[in-house]
Amino acid sequence: MLEGINKIGDLEWEVPIGYVANMRVPGRFFLSRALAETLEEGAVRQLANVATLPGIVKHSLAMPDIHWGYGFPIGGVAAFDMTEGVISPGGVGFDINCGVRLITTPLSEADLAGRKRDLIERLFAAVPTGVGAKSTLRVSNRELSEVMVNGARWAVERGFGTGADLARCEEEGAMPGADPDAVSAKARQRGAPQLGTLGAGNHFLEIQVVKEIVDPEAARVFGIVEGQVCFMVHCGSRGLGHQVATDHLRILESALGKYRIQLPDRQLACAPVDSPEGRAYYGGMASAANYAWANRQVIMHEARKVFAEMYGIDYDEMRLVYDVAHNVAKFERHDVDGAQAEVCVHRKGATRAFGPGAPGIPHAYAAVGQPVLIPGSMGTSSYLLHGTTTAMQKTWGSTCHGAGRVLSRSKAKKEVRGKELRLQLAEEGILVRASHDSVLAEEAPEVYKPSHEVVRVVHEAGLSGIVARLNPLGVIKG
DNA sequence: ATGTGC
């Protein structure tokens, strides 16, 4: 472990006050010895830097998938007081409400046999992928405002899915407080033609099979059985969210002097939660988050359509298990020094993991806690977990979001050949379809930390409990 | 992640 870090539990580490100057609270992170080998000193410094921000409550936290990011580390979680504290785009990330949803089907792996290539090709044709991907869906400026306020509900009202889906989304697919007026014309311009598109990088639409049930009782509650074919959508708010982050970072940077905020790193630009600039960022961020929920709802519907046409199954036989956000800031009530208080929780590459009985989770899941979805990297397992009481106590009800990169995109491109990788995965029975083989190299399994180890740590640390492991059968990527 | 980089 790095010098100056204290071990405070089997998988828990403390960054003491003084690790960097002006820390208000200690840092804490969760990590195994195996993951410690790839821990970046810069990411720990970022975790400590977050602890210098005004109004931070309890600890600056990071999950075991911690790695170096913009300002805050990815895998970072931090809560701020509603009157003394700040809100920061660096604590959310550029891809606002990047998230994951999981949908079950009544099919088994054997039902796909022989038609899997056809299925992948049809899904690839139905869902636009790639950096600049544009949708066939056209939304007017007024409709885009409705998307930003109503999120997944807008999509359902337009015929993409049903009302039952909304009850299976975090925030029911639309967080409150969205302010479309805090979204620039440029952000609208980028977002309008992209609704219903997957994007690029680690985003994917994947066909999976439930390979292993670890917690039978929770699996029953979530409606998952071994051998079942599912599909998973991992994407975010596309160019719209990126532009909202860019616009508000600039605004917040120029307001730092006004609020006499001194930062160890300009990338931590922020404003008081309760200030015009802070409220504007929140309103823009919530708008982008809701756009992302609508985006995943549209993509899910297009995928359901393909499955329905190919296998003659009904739409309501393809049930949404849950949809989680892993890049967002929210106002939530938590225990602070023995009393309930509202705080502004930032989760950046971290997933909400509310435990049994927590408010805001579907009634049907109340007994086991909310579903937590951890996407694997290309060719590796994804996981379904449940939230816990321990997470409520230790991490503001948060857990990891997946595996962090260990190799930069440029290094990955030098070391991996996309076509070879595609052929190798095909031999393992995993069909990959992307616009170009070259984009696959950047997403090769070996350029990411092993997600099973990250998941093992959050399970062992009690931040969430493993319910099931899902293996990829086919994937479409940007 | 991103109309990919000052």
Catalytic choice (A248, A326, A386, A401): A401
Measure the CA–CA gap between A320 and A167, rounded to whole angstroms. Answer: 9
Give the tens place of pLDDT for each residue, A104-117.
999 999 999 889 99
Give the tens place of pLDDT for each residue, A412-461.
988 889 999 999 999 999 999 998 888 899 999 988 888 999 999 999 99
pLDDT at A409 over 90: no
pLDDT at A163 over 90: yes
Residue A114: what pLDDT?
87
Give the N- to C-terminal CA distance of chain A in Å, as an integer: 37
Residue nearest to nucleotide B1 (CA to C1'): A95
Q: What's the CA–C1' distance between A70 and B4, in Å?
A: 15
pLDDT at A407 over 90: no
Residue at token pair 């997944």: A152
Give the tens place of pLDDT for each residue, A230-275.
999 999 999 999 999 999 999 999 999 999 999 999 999 999 999 9
B strand bases under 7 Å from protein CB: 1-4
> Between the CA of residue A29 and those of A9, A144, A159, A383, A394, what are the distances in Å?
10, 39, 43, 21, 10
Measure the CA–CA gap between A329 and A345, rounded to whole angstroms. Answer: 5
Residue A386 catalytic?
A: no
DSSP symbols for A29-75: EE--HHHHTT--HHHHHHHHHHTTSTTB-S-EEEEEEEE--SSSPEE
Residue nearest to nucleotide B3 (CA to C1'): A132
pLDDT at A342 over 90: yes
Measure the CA–CA gap between A211 and A189, rounded to whole angstroms. Answer: 42
Footprint of strand B on the protein (CB under 7 A): A 94-95, 98, 131-132, 186, 190, 194, 199-203, 235-236, 238-239, 242-243, 409, 443, 478
Structural domains of chain A, with CATH: 6-406+448-477 (3.90.1860.10)
- C-beta separation of A416 from A447 below 8 A: yes
Residue A450: what pLDDT?
85
Q: What pLDDT band is residue A68 in, cutting at 50, 70 and 90?
A: very high
Q: What's the CA–C1' distance between A195 and B6, in Å?
A: 31
SS3 A172: helix
- Residue A325 tokens, joined: 């956000």
The candidate with the shortest Cα–Cα distance to A388, out of A406, A400, A370, A375, is A370
- C-beta separation of A299 from A198 below 8 A: yes
